[in-house]
Amino acid sequence: MELNKITKLLGYAGLIPFYAFSLLTINQNYTFFIDIFFLYSVIILCFLSGSLWMRLITSSNQKNNTIYKIISIGFPLFALISELFVAYVLKIIIYVMIYILLYICDKKTIGAGLKDYMKMRLFLTINVVLTHFILLYAIFTYGIF
């Protein structure tokens, strides 16, 4: 199944805030941009987890995906707790791991007919991880912890 133009546009446009806030942090040294970056990141993590949840509960293979259901609920909760109680550097590591693990869960649970979607997801995941490392660079450059 090929993705339609609006799906691609919305998917790729979702990268704009990641790049904007991470690059603004490098240029401006404002923790405000870091906080907005992380809030946006949590929103996207929740969105991806919700998408995984919906795919799992509509799957015909209900009995074999229990662990993925737990993961799809657990990741947003873990990200929220991290957002509230964890320092910037550790938060970046946690979010990067969650993004990668969500991609792996999607890849393992998605049907063969969505190869275009998984290509797009791989590209988006790589770029989101890259923006987290750009933010990490800014944090270390300015000594913001």
Mean pLDDT, all residues of the chain: 90
What pLDDT, on a 0 to 100 scale, did the predictor assign at position 62?
Answer: 66
Whether the pLDDT of residue 29 is over 90: the answer is no
Measured distance CA(29)–CA(141) in Å, rounded: 9
In tens, the pLDDT along 63-110 reads 678 888 899 999 999 999 999 999 999 999 999 999 999 999 999 888
Measured distance CA(102)–CA(72) in Å, rounded: 8
In percent, the amount of the chain with pLDDT more than 90 equals 68
What pLDDT, on a 0 to 100 scale, did the predictor assign at position 1?
Answer: 58
Contact 15, 124 (CB under 8 A): yes
* pTM for the predicted model, two decimal places: 0.91
